[in-house]
Amino acid sequence: MGGSSNRFILDTTWLSLCRTGIGSIDADHRDIHDRIERLHEACALGRIDQCRTVSAGLLVAIGRHFHREEALFAPTEYPNARHHADQHRQLLHRLTVFATAVAHGSPSIREIADGADLVASVLMTDHVALDMDLKAYLQAGD
């Protein structure tokens, strides 16, 4: 399945690159990672109902994480806050479309796995860079 390479990248790279040193944010990252893993596992087992449940939970977890992360922007006067928040909204939109299609459509396991790979890929490309920038800014202020 196409998801195995993204799972490896998320395992070995994503969590360490996104480590901010802020306990709640780092815990969110671990939770999101675990949910993506569970989605890949559900796909591998061919469990559509489990894919629906995990996709919905992933959407909620990422939305909650973005809210928590954006709450850091104003008090720290993070200069890239607008761009970072815009990227959050774009990913949430993509994930909402994906989770809605999984919940209310009749996608194949392959389509769900491809969607999970897309989420993992976007997290690896766009959001690693964003979180590294936020981390650098927060560390510079210490």
| pLDDT-above-70 percentage for the chain | 87
Dist CA 75 CA 93 (whole Å): 26
Shortest CA distance to 66 belongs to which of 39, 91, 37? 91
Tens-digit pLDDT profile for residues 44-69: 999 999 999 999 999 999 999 999 99
Contact assessment for residue 127 and residue 103, using Cβ atoms and an 8 Å cutoff: no
Contact assessment for residue 15 and residue 124, using Cβ atoms and an 8 Å cutoff: no
Q: Report helix angle 81-104 to 48-70, nearest 10.
A: 160
CATH architecture assignment, domain 3-140 = Up-down Bundle (1.20)
Residue 95 CA: distances (Å) to CA of 55, 60, 121: 9, 10, 12
Contact assessment for residue 1 and residue 43, using Cβ atoms and an 8 Å cutoff: yes
The predicted pLDDT at position 71 comes to: 93
Q: What is the mean pLDDT of the chain?
A: 84
Tens-digit pLDDT profile for residues 65-102: 999 999 989 899 999 999 999 999 998 998 899 899 99
Tens-digit pLDDT profile for residues 64-73: 999 999 998 9
Instruction: Over range 103-109, report the average pLDDT.
Output: 90
Dist CA 82 CA 7 (whole Å): 29
Dist CA 117 CA 2 (whole Å): 7
Instruction: Over range 13-19, report the average pLDDT.
Output: 70
The predicted pLDDT at position 4 comes to: 44
Residue 114 CA: distances (Å) to CA of 97, 102, 117: 13, 12, 5
